[in-house]
Amino acid sequence: MKTTFKFLGGLIILFSLGSCEKDVIDSGDAELSSADIKGVQNFNNGMINSYSNEVVLQWNELLSQSIDDLMPLPAETKIYAMVTLAMHDALNNVVPKYETYALDNSGVDVTGISKKNIHSISDAAVSLAARDMMVQLFPASTAAADAQLSAILEGIEDSELKTRGVNIGKAAVAAILEKRANDFPLRFQTYIGGTAPGEYQVNYMPFMLANPPVWPENAAYAPNMGELTPFGIISSDQFRDEGLYPLNSSEYVADYNEVKSLGCTDCPMRTEEQTEIGAFWIESNASSMNRLARTLIEERKLDGWEAARLIGLVEMAVIDAYIASFEGKAYYKFWRPVSAIRAGDFDGVDATVGDLTWTSSFFTPPTAEYPSTHAYAGGASAAVFKSFFNSDHVNLNVTSPYYLPGVERHLNSFSQMSYETAISRIYIGYHFRHAIEVGERQGKELGEYVFQNNLRELKKTL
């Protein structure tokens, strides 16, 4: 796909968006008028850098406050992706600096925008994009989103630029909704699980304990999510490579015994730190990575365009990690540790000793086991952060407010974050080691691909 960006006076600039080559704005042989030169200068004269990250962060924080821990993680993750990409597209239709996800910015007119007034149009564009997408996808957020929108718009002097910003924000939402129009809803579906050893089975809690049930009996959540069109990768099976360990293999037996001894409720062999890691990283990847991105944006003083791009890339990688991992789950249909360990004496493997009372330390999600979605998304996020900042190093204290409020963990690297996110799934009894190792590795490959091929900077040669 090629995009043409036009300045006054006939300057024609081509962006190559769909290939693996770097994007270049080429002036050709046309003689530049003073209007052309002014337009080019406005593109890169510090105007964008003068736009702070404040409003972008305000909306991302409100998004977290509005949807976190209120729905199954795949649904939450998709909302994060669509809202954050709408904000990114809105800004890049104010002044194009990066490729967009859905709203074409080939004919953007930057006339009248300057360092003095860029906040007026940009704040309006970001705010309308965030508000309209939040309300569209999660109507319960309407009151809070409307209040924040009103407060921001009231602080912007009425002008043609403010109106342009409002219209840009609305257009960004409309473009994404149109692009995702064929998406099917993510919901519980009746699922007839397997009965043979190793096959995913819907035979574990909490649906038989909770009153009312946490989820329907004999149901799995969004087992077809892997059929969704990805956001930034080519296909959901793009990174699928390594298959399952046979049940009678030494590798499977080792994984079985590890999660059996470390992942159960009150497992005596699990250390205090392992217990903390398990509970700390259990929350939604979309939420925890959004919070980490906001911290890094403030610490490293990114401008609004950079902030929107970073969060958009991270959330794009997370949703695609969910889609890709769910494709793998549907392909392999492997059983969860809670099913495997309770059936350990009946699986045809002498080396696996069963325990009919074994329970994971948190309720196991109603999805198949392999590969681990959490590890996949953690690896993908780490790859985006590492690529964005061109470094694996960080020096941050991070929090997990939903499950261990007040507890902090120190991160020395994005790789550490990825590793802890993955290994935590053993400590809470959700996954075998093979699932987390493969998930993390494939996630890193996915994250690198997302960064290299989406929302790239529009280069210019004049």
Q: What is the pLDDT of residue 462?
A: 35
Cα 49 to Cα 45, 52, 152, distances in angstroms:
8, 7, 20
Q: What is the pLDDT of residue 255?
A: 98
The amino acid at residue 15 is F
pLDDT in tens, 124-174: 999 999 999 999 999 999 999 999 999 999 999 999 999 999 999 999 999
24 vs 349, higher pLDDT: 349
Bridge-based pairing of strands 188-190 and 2-6 is: unpaired
Q: What is the pLDDT of residue 218?
A: 77
24 forms beta bridges with 459
Report the candidate in 454, 462, 383 with the shortest Cα–Cα distance to residue 19.
454
Q: What is the pLDDT of residue 205?
A: 60
For the beta carbon of residue 38, count every other beta carbon within 10 angstroms. 17
Q: What is the pLDDT of residue 206?
A: 55
Q: What is the pLDDT of residue 10?
A: 34
Q: What is the pLDDT of residue 41?
A: 42
Q: What is the pLDDT of residue 2?
A: 34
Q: How far apart are CA 51 and CA 269, in angstroms?
A: 52
What's the rounded mean pLDDT across residues 421-429? 98
69 vs 203, higher pLDDT: 69
246: cis peptide before it, omega within 30°?
A: no
Q: What is the pLDDT of residue 350?
A: 97
Inform me whether the pLDDT recorded for 58 exceeds 60. yes
Inform me whether the pLDDT recorded for 240 exceeds 90. yes
- Under the banding of pLDDT at 50, 70 and 90, the label for residue 55 is very high
What's the rounded mean pLDDT across residues 254-267? 97
Q: What is the pLDDT of residue 221?
A: 92
Mean pLDDT of the chain: 89
- Chain-centroid distance of CA 99 in Å reads 18
Q: How far apart are CA 91 and CA 307, in angstroms?
A: 11
For the beta carbon of residue 8, count every other beta carbon within 10 angstroms. 14
204 vs 297, higher pLDDT: 297
Q: What is the pLDDT of residue 204?
A: 76
